Homo-oligomer: A and B are copies of this chain.
Amino acid sequence: MRNIKLVVSYDGTDFHGWQVQPGYRTVQQVLEEAVAALTGESGVRVNASGRTDTGVHAVGQVVNFRSATRLEPAQLLRALNAHLPEDVRVLSVEDAPPGFHARFDARSKTYRYYIRNGPLASPFERQFVWHVPQPLDVDAMRQAASRLLGRHDFSAFRSSGTEVPDSVRTLHTSAVVETAGAVPWLVSTATTTPSASRCSSDAGSVLTYEVTGDGFLRHMVRAIVGTLVEVGRGWRDAAQMDALLQSGDRARAGATAPPHGLFLVRVDYD
């Protein structure tokens, strides 16, 4: 049996997350159906580096599955994409070592979370960017984000009600980057002549929170982002992040940010 590794991108909008659930459309289900249709093999299980929740997107999810297919990687790439719906694309295919497992062997994962900070959210961003209209203190958010770097118990940022044996994780990157404007095709080039009787909406900026770590608890990135936004709004100080981590108390952190701004962008292996 071959052990085949894929890098996969998906728009999470119309999926009930990664994991197979009877009666729901999930990414795992459509991938397993495409593999079955292609190889004629039944019961193929596709492992991901981790589950993504309903509405969460991926541009670099890694999965693996076992198959006896004789198709070359280039043929598999074409054929899988031909079988998959347009909201899931396989970006690359390779033969992995026999023992490779997309989840157990992941050394680090990188997520990005996009926030539109400005009075108006573009119609084209509404499924991919969290719209926060209130002014945000980006410097305070940067400081708060950097305090999460390193090895900590992230219990304060895990989904309440979940039981994980070990909640200690190490973050290698935890940074907020601010960029002006929007993606090119979302920008109107209409000339704006300032005038007393005219009011144009300021496009604002996009804040990107990028985080890389050796692992993440359930809802951890979204709880971090929700907390960073509360720092940005001035509801809490950046310096409080240390005490928050030490408390291990989910109730003391911020609200969980909505899923649609979150992208799994990369999974690294040794």
Are A88 and B199 in contact, with the CB atoms below 8 A? no
Q: What's the nearest-Cβ distance from chain B to residue A45, in Å? A: 22
> Which among A60, A123, A199 has the greatest number of chain B C-beta atoms within 10 A?
A123
Q: Please, which residues of chain B bring their CB within 8 A of the CB of A90?
A: 201
Partner of A200 from the list B59, B92, B95, B179 (CB cut-off 8 Å) is B92
Are B89 and A190 in contact, with the CB atoms below 8 A? no
Docked CA distance A175–B207 (Å): 33
> Which bucket holds chain A's interface residue count?
35 or more
A117 adjacent to chain B (CB < 8 Å): no
Instruction: List 12 interface pairs A-B (beta carbons < 8 Å), by A numbering.
Output: A7-B190, A9-B123, A11-B123, A73-B197, A73-B199, A76-B199, A78-B119, A89-B120, A91-B120, A92-B201, A110-B189, A188-B266
Question: What would 8 more interface pairs be, CB under 8 Å, given A87-B123, A110-B189?
Answer: A7-B188, A62-B190, A77-B199, A92-B198, A94-B195, A94-B199, A189-B265, A190-B267
Residues of A within 8 A of B (CB): 7, 9-11, 57, 59-60, 62, 72-74, 76-78, 81, 86-95, 110, 112, 114, 119-124, 126, 128, 179, 183-192, 195, 197-201, 208, 263, 265-268
